[in-house]
Structure 1
Amino acid sequence: MFFCLNLKQHLRTHESEKPYSSKKTCGKHFGYKQILKFQMVTHLEKKPYCCTKCGKGFSQKVILLCHSRTHTGEQPASCKVCGKSFYHKHYLTRHMKSHTKVVGV
């Protein structure tokens, strides 16, 4: 049953089906119920995760963790090509594109 549910959710990504919506707040539609839950938290006035250094609130714990690195200076994701470091691996992934050449565009 669990596998079939995940398969159904996965197939929605291919069909662009987005049955979950936040009609009362912003009107956005989502393919996964969990993503809708994360979205609804972003509309709360008081966020559930708060930075102890500056008081800024966040809707997800992982976003708070990434933010806290701006205070500590920790940059755990580093480029193996040039050595530049980043707060989050997303920024490293984006940076890595600067090392690849696009041919014939």
Structure 2
Amino acid sequence: CGECGKAFRWSSRLAHHQRSHTGERPYKCPECPKAFKGSSALLYHQRGHTGERPYTCPECPNAFKGSAALLYHQRGHTGERPYACPQCRKTFPHSSNLQLHRRTH
């Protein structure tokens, strides 16, 4: 990137990154005034309009717009706690939980 020096393996990733410097948002939602830097963000957003939730939980009836939300949800079923506090070793299912906890030390 000519602006910040960050390197990318793919030119498409560089183009997407450069939009963070220029503010360009070429992917426009046809349903509302919102616009996005990338096509995947637009697709995710459009699922809010259509109600589409293609990522279904195999353990319960819940479904989600994106795979990250499904993974976040599934940790409630599995009990996975991959984020550990380096000071006290307490573990958390999500990085945001760990960040909040670290403020207590």
- How far is the alpha carbon of 1:6 from its aligned partner? 2.9
- How far is the alpha carbon of 1:96 from its aligned partner? 6.4
In structure 1, C-alpha distance between the alignment counterparts of 2:62 and 2:96, rounded to whole Å: 21
Structure 2 residue runs of 5 or longer lacking an equivalent are 1-8
Query: Is this contact kept in 2: 1:21–1:36, CA < 8 A?
Result: yes
Number of residue pairs matched by the alignment: 97
Query: TM-score, normalised on structure 2?
Result: 0.71
Alignment of 1:31-46 (within 5 A): 31-46=37-52
> How many percent identity over aligned positions?
33
Q: Deviations over 1:18-47 (max 9, x none)?
A: 1112131x4321111121122223433241
Query: TM-score, normalised on structure 1?
Result: 0.71
Taking a change above 3 Å as real, the CA distance of residues 23 and 46 of structure 1, as seen in their structure-2 partners, is: closer
Corresponding residue for residue 98 of structure 1: 103
1:87 aligns with 2:93: yes
1:5 aligns with 2:16: no
Taking a change above 3 Å as real, the CA distance of residues 3 and 63 of structure 1, as seen in their structure-2 partners, is: same
Q: CA RMSD in A?
A: 2.5
Query: Is this contact kept in 2: 1:47–1:57, CA < 8 A?
Result: yes
Corresponding residue for residue 53 of structure 2: 47
Corresponding residue for residue 103 of structure 1: none
Runs of 4+ aligned structure 1 residues displaced above 6 Å come to none
Corresponding residue for residue 81 of structure 2: 75
Q: Secondary structure at the match of 1:75?
A: coil
Aligned residue among 68, 71, 86 for 1:65: 71
Structure 1 residue runs of 5 or longer lacking an equivalent are 101-105
Corresponding residue for residue 27 of structure 2: 20
